Structure 1
Amino acid sequence: MTGYFAELFTLFLIVLVHEIGHVVVARSFDIRVREVKLLPFGGVAEIEDAGSIPAKQDALIAIAGPLQNVWMGLAAWGCGQLGWWDPEWAAYVWKANLMIGLFNLLPIYPLDGGKLLQAAFSYGFNYYSMMKWTSRISIVLSTLMIGFAISTAFWPSNGIQLNLLVVGLFLWLTNWTYYRNIPYLFVRFLMHRDRVAVRTIARGSLARPIIVNIKQPIIGVVRLLWREQYHLIYLMELEGRIVKVVPEKEVVDRFLIERDPNRAVIELFR
């Protein structure tokens, strides 16, 4: 209707190739992609059971999208320099790739930068804390984006940045929903912990010990699990005596069938 069909179609193709990059790398790791959502600022590739795959693979899948924007942008710039494309059109294409690639690297979930942030946090936080901090940071940055989009209305000869406002609201709502769903997402993570055990046994890796008070609620114990580590749980009295050593799998299984998540962990292993 506004005469920008070619530009919009080009943006669609850029976003499509961006998401194909995610899908190709995910499939190379034999990871199933449930769906791909194409959005004006990029897209979202939803990976099956993301919490059960190694953080390194998660990061490689995330960065694969912006890397597509790199080669497409360079190709467009080269076509303009060689005279194969109209200079204005070449500039539009490489700038569009630059904009989409850099925007997706913002550390806001579910953008690629947010997924890279999650992967990095997986090496410094347990899985539950990683989800909490990712969502909190994403909500704060989304709020700042919304505030900036509105603040431009008070600048001379400017109005509200409507596109940025809509994207900011979408990201804020997405992360607020993610934050509220963390308990359910965490249960899904626990239900696929057996995959971590299989990888640990295959590599011959050492189990990571977790020492907890025998009176600690079982929900507090399972929240101490790390993404890529298999654990042995040491149940200790306040006096420092080890009462029992329990494999992670037994703790997770008891938690999943226990009706009272605040029940003391020692009561489940007497």
Structure 2
Amino acid sequence: MIKWKGIRWSVHPLFVLIMIGSVATGYFAELFTLFLIVLVHEIGHVVVARSFDLTVREVKLLPFGGVAEIEDAGSIPAGQDALIAIAGPLQNVWMGLAAWGCGQLGLWDPEWAAYVWQANLIIGLFNLLPIYPLDGGKLMQSAFSYGFAYYPMMKWTSRISIVLSVIMIGYAVYTAFLPGDGLQLNLLVVGLFLFMTNWTYYRNIPYLFVRFLMHRDRVAVRSIAKGSLARPIIVNMKQPIIAVVRLLWREQYHLFYLMELEGRIVKVVPEQEVVDRYLSERDPNRAVIELFR
């Protein structure tokens, strides 16, 4: 692991094992090229994230791409998140076209040019699969931010990612029983990695949601600065506070209307007060009205 420009850059152990294997089998040049492709792919994410004045804490390189860890905790707009995600595959587009052009112009050996543009095509398309933390998974998450509150958005992202990871694993094993084919070991390893990543993500959603709540003040500052309208949320005053905070949307600032079953509004509370009470409350199942009498 090295630190450059304030960012920790590391190579995943899986990539290291493949590199060792490439040296033993005489494919080091191909793998080194793959390493450079993945590196440029991740630099695309970093450049766009930095253009939005976001802090990139770590970039971890994997055989099929990488993971750029950005310090946002769900506080940056979904549109910016989507632009950061798509920046990686866009690097594969220009690199692939450049390699193809070099082959057509005779600047590169045709076989080598084909290898480079095909590697870019595979890495770019693979990263667009809707599986978190691939770029396609992050794009899916950004899209879900416009249709779900933040908590269910995380739930659906992880569920879909787990299902697709299982399908990937199942297909890799299935090929082992086909005549003339063998076990798709690379696909199996990647599928297992994505499954474990999303299973861990799913189990950590309650903790990730608390981190999201702790950064909600950023959304309030942006909304006030732009003069945005607050999004009203009407809740039964007897609902537990944990259920109430899970109604928060990623980019919206809210006013909570605590209402009786008869339809009378008892109290209007800004979201920051609800969040602060939740974070300081020992019993998350207490009725919200008990905290605002």
Common fold, TM-score beyond 0.5? yes
**Residue 48 of structure 1: aligned partner:** 71
After TM superposition, the structure 1 = structure 2 runs for residues 95-106 of structure 1, keeping only pairs within 5 Å, are 95-106=118-129
CA deviation map 1:24-60 (0-9, x unaligned): 0000000001100100000000110240100000000
C-alpha contact 1:50 1:58 (8 A) present in aligned 2:
no
Question: By how many angstroms is 1:159 displaced?
Answer: 1.1
Determine whether 1:227 maps to 2:267.
Answer: no
Determine whether 1:73 maps to 2:115.
Answer: no
Greater than 4 Å deviation, 4+ residue runs? none
After TM superposition, the structure 1 = structure 2 runs for residues 184-203 of structure 1, keeping only pairs within 5 Å, are 184-203=207-226
Q: State how far apart, in whole Å, the 1-side matches of 2:198 and 2:73 are.
A: 16
**Secondary structure of residue in 2 paired with 1:232:** strand
Unaligned regions of 5+ residues in structure 1, if any? Answer: none
Return the letter of the residue paired with 2:166: T
Number of matched pairs: 270
CA deviation map 1:221-267 (0-9, x unaligned): 00000000000000000000000000000000000000000000000
After TM superposition, the structure 1 = structure 2 runs for residues 108-187 of structure 1, keeping only pairs within 5 Å, are 108-187=131-210
- When the two structures are superposed, what TM-score results if normalisation uses the length of structure 2? 0.92
Determine whether 1:268 maps to 2:291.
Answer: yes
Return the letter of the residue paired with 1:225: L
- When the two structures are superposed, what TM-score results if normalisation uses the length of structure 1? 1.00
CA deviation map 1:78-104 (0-9, x unaligned): 000000000000000000000000000
CA deviation map 1:162-192 (0-9, x unaligned): 0000000000000000000000000000000
Of residues 84, 87, 102, the one that matches 1:64 is 87
**Residue 234 of structure 2: aligned partner:** 211
C-alpha contact 2:73 2:208 (8 A) present in aligned 1:
no
**Residue 18 of structure 1: aligned partner:** 41
Question: By how many angstroms is 1:138 displaced?
Answer: 0.0
Q: State how far apart, in whole Å, the 1-side matches of 2:134 and 2:260 are.
A: 44
Q: State how far apart, in whole Å, the 2-side matches of 1:11 and 1:50 are.
A: 31
Q: State how far apart, in whole Å, the 2-side matches of 1:267 and 1:50 are.
A: 29
**Secondary structure of residue in 2 paired with 1:229:** coil
Q: State how far apart, in whole Å, the 2-side matches of 1:190 and 1:60 are.
A: 23
Question: By how many angstroms is 1:128 displaced?
Answer: 0.2
Q: State how far apart, in whole Å, the 2-side matches of 1:213 and 1:29 are.
A: 39
Unaligned regions of 5+ residues in structure 2, if any? Answer: 1-23
**Secondary structure of residue in 2 paired with 1:36:** strand
Return the letter of the residue paired with 2:79: K
**Secondary structure of residue in 1 paired with 2:25:** coil
| Percent identity between the two aligned chains | 89
Return the letter of the residue paired with 2:222: R
Return the letter of the residue paired with 1:139: I
Return the letter of the residue paired with 1:116: L
**Residue 236 of structure 1: aligned partner:** 259
Q: State how far apart, in whole Å, the 1-side matches of 2:57 and 2:132 are.
A: 18
